[in-house]
Every structure is written in C-alpha cells, then in structure tokens.
Structure 1
Amino acid sequence: MPTLPPERAPRSTQQPHQHRSVAESFGADAERYDRTRPGYPQALVDRIVTACPGPAPDLLDVGCGTGIAARQFAAAGCRVLGVDPDARMAGIARRSGLQVEVATIEAWDPAGRTFDAVVSGQTWHWVDPVAGAAKAALALRPGGPLALFWNGGRPAPELAAAFAEVYRRVAPDALAARQWSRPTADPYAELCARAAEGIRAVGAFGEPEQWRHAWERSYTRAQWLDQLPTTGGHHQLPPAVLDEVLLGVGTAIDAVGGSFTMRYTTLAVTAVRTAAPTTTAPHRDLTAG
C-alpha cells in the first residue's frame, strides 16, 4: 500500500475546517444534496468493511450528512451510528432508518462507546485534523481502521476548460470557482496529506496509507445542474450570479451533446488504531465565529 509522506502539507492562512459558513451551507437544501450527490465505489466500502475486526462491524460515520455513505455501509452489513453538526442533514438521514447524533466530532461525547471502524466521506476537511483524529482514536477499538475519503472528479479536458471559463467570466473570485482553476485532477491530495498529519500527531495509529479507486459516472445536463448548487461555495453566490453560472455551465454541456462523463477518483487516507492516543488535542469551539 502506498503510504503518505510525512512532510507537512502546504498550509493556507485559514484551514478548511475554519470556513464554518461554507461547512454549514450544505443543509440549506438537504433534500437536493441527498438526491444528487454521488455515492462511493463499492470496492472502497468492501475494503473498509473487510479491514474491520468482527463479522458485523459497528461503524461510526463522522459528518454523515444525509446518510449517503452510511446507507452503503449499512447495506454491507454494518451497524452504523452517524454524527453530524447539521440537524437538517441529520433529519434526512434518519428518514432512511439511520441513527444520527447532532454534534461536531470535536465536541461529540462517545460516552464509553467504541466502534470497529470510524469513517468520514467528503467531510474530514471540515474537521480539526488533530482533534478529530484524537476523538476517533478514543472511539475505535484496537485494530479498527480510521478511513477518510473524498470523491474528486474531472470531466474531459475540453469541458473542464469550458466550465473554468464560465467561472472566470461570472464569478472569478468565488470559492466555487476553485475546483476548475486547479491545474490538477487530484484536488483532495492536499487534504489527504493534512489528514495524515493529524493522524500521526495523535500517536495512536499505524502509518497512514492512501487508497485510490477510479470510477466513472455519466451526467445529463439536467442532472449536473441539479447537483451543482450543492457543491462547496455555490450557496454563497448571489442568486443572479448562480443563475448565470448554471446558464453558462448548461450551455457548455449542450455544446458537447447534452451529457458528459465525470471521471472520479476516490482518495482515501486510512490508518489502524494501535494504541491509546498520546495527545487529546484540546477541543476548540469551531461553531463560533
């Protein structure tokens, strides 16, 4: 398995988990989020479940949102408890029969409960990487994996360039534009490195490894435009600007025939709980300010 290098990840002046206004925006349209956001490759789910001690793992899903990943793990035979700071997202997850407690993972109290695995899909960048890993270590049974994963997607280069041009023209400084301004198809590589740093700092895990799973999904124009407002930063756009973005992106998709294939890579950082944490990483209240 490839391991992640121990050098420090590049730091911005403000870490992703401190962008609370963005982190808390996804629940504004929780129904759409649940309806449109992609799941995760079954190979990843199976690999995590196989790594768990015991035949019917107890699993903690951090930042479970509306339950997209949690439902996949439940279908694979896990007993899942979700934790999410947004009551609106948690409400959608509970409709499908999932148990969810509303809290940030940094503030969440395991109350003596332990789990065979802790997972987090598309979420860990909203978590303090050291405090989150320390809490995961407290909740994990020895030998259990911590698995943090993200879907990174890219269409064909011509369409990606057309999308980038829309944002350059309509919302050049918006957070939502960043995914198309990056020159790499690996937008979550820095987040993986930062997560690995946090895991190492806690001193309770083996060396973090990185897994990669490639897969594809086709989108019609309508499907992509339905999902787009749920992605980071779009809720912060003024309605008129968002309308312009959707019009421009839709026109770009029309120009390639009205549909396209998104090439996804799911990146995962995993580490096995080996010992009690050597640091408890004092919790900072991330809900204020």
Structure 2
Amino acid sequence: MALYLALAVYGDLDALRSVLGAFPWRILPLVLGLTLVNYAGRLLKWILYLRWLDAGVGARDAARIFGLGMTMVLTPGKAGELLKSWMVKRLSGTPISRTAPAVVAERLTDGLAMLILSVLGLLAFDLPELRTTALVVLALMLAGIVAVWIQPLADWGLGLAERLPVVGPRAHLLHELYRSSYVLLRPPALLTAVGIGLVSWTCEGLAYYLVLTGVGAEAGLATAGKAIFIFSISTIVGAVVATPGGLGGTEGGLVSLGMRLLGLAKPSATAAALLARLATLWFGVALGLVCMSLWPELLAGAED
C-alpha cells in the first residue's frame, strides 16, 4: 500500500482525485471483461499442460486449482504459484516434480508472448534501456528452451548432477522435471502456448487502452498499439524486478511510458497505472480469494 500512496503523492493528490472523479466508470465492466479473457486463456493453457503431462486432474479441478493459485501472484517472482503443483499432488497423487515445470512454462510462454507484443514498440521508439532488458530476458528464455530441446546436453547435465553428494540421491526428481519440461517445450506445445498468450495479453493490453481513453488519451489504433506495448514491456520489467506481483516495476513503467509515449500529464498517467493494476493484478487476487473461500479443502488436500 505504501507504493500506491507514493504513486498518489507523485501524481499530485488533488489532480489525481480530479482525474479519477472524471473517469467514465461505466467502461469498467468492459475493462474487467477483457481481463477475464486473459485469465480464461491462461486457464486454458494450464488445463492443456496438465493434460499433456497426464497429471490425472480433470478440467474442473484444474480450474479450481488455477483460481486458488491466483492469490499467489503476490509472492516474489510469483514463486508461490508452485502451490498449484502441490494441490495437484494432493488431489491426484501426481508428483510435484512432474507438474512444477507447468508453472514455469506458464510464466515462460507468457513472457515470450509479451516480448513478441513489445517488438514493434522496441524498434519504433528510442528506448535503449528497455531494449537491453528485453534482449537479456529473451536470450535467457531461448537459452533455457534450447537447453531442454538438446537432449544429449540435458543428459550430460543430469549426469553431472547425479555425481553431486547432495543432489545425487534426488536425481530421479531432476529426471522427472526434465521429462515434463521437454513435453511442454516441444515446438508444437510451445507454439500453442505462446499463441494463447498472444491473445491473452493483447486483451489485457486493450483493457489498459480503455483505461487510457478514460483518463484523456486519444482513442484510435495508434494509441491501442502503444497501450499494448506499454503494458507488455512494463509487465516484463515487473517480472525482472521480481517483487511481489511485479509491484513497483510495472507501475513505474506504466507511468513513465504513458507520459513519454502518449504525452499524458503526470496525474493522468498515474491514474491510468493505478486503475489498470486494480483491474488486472488486484482483480485477479480478489478472484483468487473468492476461489479460496469456495474451495478451502483444496489447500487441505481434501476432495469433494
């Protein structure tokens, strides 16, 4: 909350209050609807991943697990989302080592989708610092994917790990992790997941676009394109910062790029950032809390 108070002070409290007072709240349901499309796409990907891994969990339970997992986005780097693998194990007995790569692959393919959505903006605008960040993130992602694809390289690395005193007794877990990673990162599966991600994150970028028009940005395709770019690259920055939910990094990117690329005044850019995060991050957390209240037995491992 201190972050948002600081943002409000930065945006000039009185001016910010004026912008929010003039915001057309009637568009909020449409903004939330676009966010829900994003969540639906990510849920579809999660269901497909569990199916491809033979996790023994049906679509209904996968959806419930996904819903509870949305509360974990507030953990640093979203590492708490590994709780989803724990819930899968409690329901079906599938080892965590088999489904944990699904959580990582979700984040990886989301990141690739957002990088693709950011490409034109990075080429069109003079943003060398963001271009460098994007290139580093892309290089790390591609290196990880290629390492999984090259089975002899993976076998060599696993063989080395088996010789380590601490890792050796648990080498079977590493082999399980690798097998699942290979299944999820094969080209057909990877392309499917990234394709879903492109649709999902485009919708979230359009939600931000609607918010921008509500605080005074000019409506049109150019603004929509910039909005998708700004939201995507700011989310990547938030992931690199690795704070809970990308707090600070994402908001900072939304405010600074909103002013720089869209010519928004500081109060308008700040209001847009606050509203966008309310309709995306915090809306998701709220949905997760609702799911937690509906199905608390999932956290205890009990089934209906």
TM normalised by structure 2 equals 0.27
RCO comparison, higher one (Cα < 8 Å, 6+): 2
Higher helix proportion, which one?
A: 2
> Which structure has the bigger radius of gyration?
2
TM normalised by structure 1 equals 0.28
Higher strand proportion, which one?
A: 1
